[in-house]
Structure 1
Amino acid sequence: MKLLVTLALVAFVVARPSDDYGRYENFNVDDIIDNLRFLTGYAKCFEGAGKCTPEAADFKKLMPEAIKSNCGKCSEHQKTLIARVIHAMIEKLPEDWEKLNQIHDPEGKYSEGLKKFVNAYAKKEQ
């Protein structure tokens, strides 16, 4: 499993309030991960193959840094939100997940760190 993308979403939820993204501290990821249509829409946005909601567009902008740092600017709660979205994409949209990896981590430099990140945070406070 390579790095990815959904970190875009993660990146979005990621940034600390000092980066003016505190408004996403309580972002409801369940609305995305429990609805395959929404999750697919986010994936297509991140891939550049579909329209982006304002939130998805924000996530997409933050994705590169979040991927490289395993959500280093995220609060602990935001890390959990991001990891849950990534986990959902891996499980429900494996082809889209692979496309995102090819876009954001074609050499697989960050895949091991991302795997550890998802394993550490995806199961917390659900």
Structure 2
Amino acid sequence: MKFLIFAVCMAALALAENTYDSSTDDIDLSEVLGNERLVMSYSKCLLNKGPCTPEVKKLKDKLPEILETKCAKCTDKQKQMGKQLIQEIKSKHPDIWSDLAAHYDPQGKYRQSLEEFLKS
């Protein structure tokens, strides 16, 4: 019986480590994206041109892995938020999107998988 409880705990721990922290999943992206000052501040952080809030720093630290793994550790909510964020930035701030793409994907190796992600 103890082994079964131990095995269940280890499985739960393994599952928990296979997704990113969901503590920021309740952020209202519409509010953030509707605030020009926040958009500029957050984009400067992501581009190493300004200070970062702890939440944006977490994202910044994870971005290379997110791109590499096609968001494999993202929760469904994080995937939905990522799509919303990317689509809004691409359409309303193409200059920022261009800078972010050049910074995080200078060879364009993630472009196709990103487009597939947005369509999914």
* Structures share fold, TM-score greater than 0.5: yes
Q: Which residue of 2 aligns with 1:116?
A: 116
After TM superposition, which residue ranges in structure 1, 4 or more long, deviate above 4 angstroms? none
TM-score of the pair, normalised by structure 1 = 0.74
CA contact (8 A) 1:40 1:93 kept: no
Q: Is the 8 A contact 2:46 2:56 kept in 1?
A: yes
- Report the secondary structure of 1:64's partner residue: helix
CA–CA distance in 2 between the matches of 1:119 and 1:68? 18
Gaps of at least 5 residues in structure 2 are 1-14
Residue in 2 that maps onto 1:58? 58
1:82 aligns with 2:94: no
Match of 1:35? 35
Residue 70 of structure 1: how far off its partner (Å): 2.1
DSSP 3-state at the match of 1:24: coil
Contact 1:83-1:118 within 8 A present in 2 as well: yes
1:17 Cα offset (Å) = 5.2
Aligned residue in 1 for 2:45: 45
More divergent stretch after superposition (16-25 vs 90-99):
16-25
Q: What letter is aligned with 1:58?
A: K
For 1:17 and 1:74, the matched residues in 2 are separated by 11
| C-alpha distance after superposition, 1:68-90 (max 9, x if no partner) | 22211011111001111111111
Q: How many residues align?
A: 105
Structure whose alpha-carbon radius of gyration is higher: 2
Distance 2:70 2:33 in 1: 20
Q: What is the Cα-based RMSD across aligned positions, in Å?
A: 1.8
Q: Provide the C-alpha distance between the structure 1 equivalents of 2:33 and 2:116, rounded to a whole number of angstroms.
A: 20
1:7-57 CA distance string (max 9 Å, x none) = xxxxxxxxx853561212323222212222212211111011112111111
Query: TM-score when scaled to structure 2?
Result: 0.77
- Indicate the structure whose relative CO is greater, using CA pairs within 8 Å and at least 6 residues apart: 1
Distance 1:78 1:20, change over 3 A: closer
